[in-house]
A and B are shown apart, each in its own frame.
Chain A
């Protein structure tokens, strides 16, 4: 835990990396919602490709999921996005500081980031990304509406965060 806190302190000490983390988190949040309802965005883009219109579709999508599927669904996707942003920024920072990329430490984070894509909900029934895995009924069939997948993704991202922070200590960047 101390290692993670040290790593986060190191990351957020630099405004550039803080901004990078937040930007990645925001982009992932958008991507998670878009890939979960490609039919909706394809349909919307065929009506108008203006970014302001697509932004309105996205905000409507998020608020629809918030009210129809539950606020926890949106908040969990937000947390997965935020943790993914931190993980990716820390990986970049570590490569920058050490010149070494350790795939093993980042793998759980990568899986968590990927898994998070299946946790978001769509604004229509039966068209979510998870349907592609042959799961009829999408997130509706899960007792907690897909929160299970978010929790798994969060655990993977926390594990990754621990390993990345540990490697900072191993390289002598942070106290062991």
Chain B
């Protein structure tokens, strides 16, 4: 009898923290049992469905006349809005894009459309990088564009510090581009207008999805119309996020 009373007193100081922890555990279990924060969802086949926040996760996005990586006939199109100076875009490029490339782009299932979203606090470097890549494309097409794109991400100091002086031209020469034409393109209006057009579309999309950062992705079924109904993926998410959306679109 006295032993029981002794134990109660001994463990009394633990009652409050344990009660708090049990309360927290109960909330966690409730979330788990009810299937997570949003229940399980299936992205394919849903169009313009509002999310819990009331913002649509599927929006119509133009592929514009932007560079395409992968087969033109790929059934799924992935549009990336990106800033060469954004460290998270670089992280996506270094860690996730290679997995997507191996699983979907190289196998002809997905094509990637790269669109520019140079953020103002990374300028002028971000816009300069974007213009340089577009100038590479002007001479060598999409294939050279993406080679230039890879080199920018590999060599930029990031966060608006940009490429070291002269490196843009150095990359162009390494890719066997005509240096004179490349330099005149850098100061031309056409490349600047191309970047400005992407930026304007990103700003209009921001109004639909409640703000836009970089990188931002829209993934949808390819269409002849030049637009896709794209599922919005915000930020540098893991490969699994892209895999689930793409697989769902491919199986539909």
Contacts and interface: CB of A to CB of B under 8 A. Distances in A.
B89 A125 contact: yes
Contact of A37 (B159, B235, B238): B235
A137 B86 CA distance: 11
B17 A39 contact: no
Interface in B1-36: 13-18, 20-21, 24, 31-32, 35-36
A47 B5 CA distance: 53
Contact of B213 (A15, A54, A122): A122
B91 A40 contact: no
Contact of B83 (A17, A54, A69, A125): A125
Given A15-B14, A37-B235, A68-B91, A44 B216 contact: no
A45 B20 contact: no
Interface string B220-251: 00000000000111111110110011000000
Contacts of A67: 91
Interface string A35-75: 00101101111111111011011001100100111000000
B57 A46 contact: yes
A176 interface: no
B141 interface: no
Contacts of B57: 43, 46
B90 A46 contact: no
Given A46-B41, A68-B88, A141-B121, A124 B16 contact: no
A83 B86 CA distance: 31
A122 B88 CA distance: 9
Contact of A45 (B14, B37, B121, B213): B37
A122 to B, nearest CB: 7
B192 interface: no
A37 B214 CA distance: 12
Nearest to B83: A125
Interface string B86-119: 1111110001000000000000000000000001
A124 B80 CA distance: 13
A137 B20 CA distance: 39
Nearest to B28: A51
Contacts of A61: 235
A137 B119 contact: yes
Interface size class of A (residues with CB under 8 A): 35 or more
A125 B122 contact: yes
A124 B17 contact: no
Contact of A47 (B31, B89, B244): B244
A47 B58 CA distance: 11
Contacts of A96: 13, 16
Interface in A22-39: 23, 27, 37, 39
Contacts of A56: 238, 240
B166 interface: no
B38 interface: yes
Contacts of A47: 41, 43, 231, 233, 241, 244-245
Contacts of A40: 234-235, 237
B159 to A, nearest CB: 6
Given A27-B24, A51-B32, A125-B214, A57 B245 contact: no
A175 interface: no
A60 B242 CA distance: 13
A17 B20 CA distance: 10
B8 to A, nearest CB: 15
